Each structure stands twice: as structure tokens, then as C-alpha cells.
Chain A
Amino acid sequence: SQTIHQWPATLVQPVGSPLSLECTVEGTSNPNLYWYRQAAGRGLQLLFYSVGIGQISSEVPQNLSASRPQDRQFILSSKKLLLSDSGFYLCAWNPWTGGTEAFFGQGTRLTVV
């Protein structure tokens, strides 16, 4: 069966520090991968999605970037964090064929101080 792992679960980082959040999926090949951010009272905002290695689409302009160095690995990064980057970050996947629900990781709570 497929599983998705996301880490760390919580992170407190100072303003201006770098960020790296990692997400891996097991038990499937060539998944679509997504990064969502959940800010308080603002629902889930799609940040990035990827349909294959090295293929990243950005949904909103921001201080973050994403990379997909391997088929089942998706990384969210920042060179210099801002206070506004605080939030709950969720990684998700669905089959490359699309047309199904997305399966979510447990999330990372990022607090920028």
C-alpha cells in the first residue's frame, strides 16, 4: 500500500534562516506531488505541484521554492524565511492519472520567530 511521509512535524526557525521540508511517498510510481500551506483562517492554499522529476509548477508568487530530485521525493525550501512563512505545511500525492482524491501527509507546523 502507499504511504506518505513528511518531516519534521514541527519546526521553529528564526527570520532569515533557511528552510527545508521533505516529503516522500512509498508504494507508487510517478505520483503527482503537491505542497499546500494552511494559514490560520485561510483554508488550504496550493503552493507547488509536480507531475515528474524536475517538473515544478508554482501556483503563487512567494518566498518559497520546491524541488523534486527523485520520483517520490518532494522538497520545500526557502533561502531566507519571513515571518509570513509561518503556517502548517502539507504534502500530498495522487496517481499520475489524476482524477482521484489526494492523500495527505501529517503536516509540518512551521513557526518563524
Chain B
Amino acid sequence: AQSVTQPDIHITVSEGASLELRCNYSYGATPYLFWYVQSPGQGLQLLLKYFSGDTLVQGIKGFEAEFKRSQSSFNLRKPSVHWSDAAEYFCAVGARGGKLIFGQGTELSVKP
């Protein structure tokens, strides 16, 4: 069965520091992979997606993610975090029929 694991429930980083959020997936075929961000009380906004091709994908707000098939990972990175990046981040894999299977989410706090 498809599944997504985000091992870090909560991460705190200092403003200006680099960020890496981890995501591991389980899927039988080549996956469609996504990262979403959610501000408190809001819906989800797509940050970036991987379907095929270049394994390093660029997204909005300066985020990037790298697909590593050998590690079943799709980690999200940002070189310099801004206070406005504080939010909850969800990794997801696209399953049959267009459904998305989400990880548990990682809450990001940013220290000034």
C-alpha cells in the first residue's frame, strides 16, 4: 500500500538558516510526488511537484526538492528561511485515480 512518512513532527530553525524537511514514500511504481504548505486555518498551497525527468525540482517561494529513488525520498529544502515560512508542510504521493496520500505533516517554526 502507498504511504508517506514525514519523520519530523516539529522543526525549529533560525531565520536565515537552511532548512531540510524529510519525506519518505512507499509506492510500487514511479511516483508522483508533491509538497504542500498550509498556513494556520487555511487550505493547502502547492509548493512543488515531481512527475518525471530532472530529479531536482524547483518550486515557489525559493523551495526545492530532490527525488531519490534509491532512498524512496523526496526531501524539501530551502537555503535561507524567512519568518513567513513558518507553517505546516505536507508531503504527498499521487495514488491510483488521482488520490493523494499525505504524510503526517511537519510544523516549521522560525526563530528571529
Chain A residues close to B by CB (< 8 Å): 6, 32, 34, 36, 41-44, 46, 49, 51, 88, 90, 92, 94-96, 98-107, 109
B99 with A49: CB separation less than 8 A: yes
Interface size for chain B: under 10, 10 to 19, 20 to 34, or 35 or more residues?
20 to 34
Cβ of B102 within 8 Å of any chain A Cβ, yes or no, is yes
Which of B85-108 touch A at CB < 8 Å?
90, 94, 97-105
Shortest Cβ-Cβ A-B pairs, 10 listed: A98-B98, A43-B104, A104-B43, A44-B102, A104-B44, A32-B98, A106-B43, A94-B98, A101-B46, A43-B105
The answer to whether residues A34 and B99 also contact, given A41-B9, A42-B104, A99-B94 and a CB cut-off of 8 A, is: yes
A101 with B99: CB separation less than 8 A: no
Chain B residues close to A by CB (< 8 Å): 9, 32, 34, 36, 41-46, 49, 51, 90, 94, 97-105
Please give, as numbers and ranges, the residues of chain A lying within 8 Å of B94 by CB-CB distance. 98-101
CA distance A104 to B34 in the complex (A): 13
A/B interface sample: 19 pairs, CB < 8 A:
A34-B100, A42-B104, A43-B103, A43-B105, A44-B44, A46-B99, A49-B98, A88-B41, A92-B100, A95-B98, A96-B98, A98-B94, A98-B98, A100-B32, A104-B36, A104-B44, A105-B43, A106-B43, A107-B43
Please give, as numbers and ranges, the residues of chain B lying within 8 Å of A41 by CB-CB distance. 9, 104
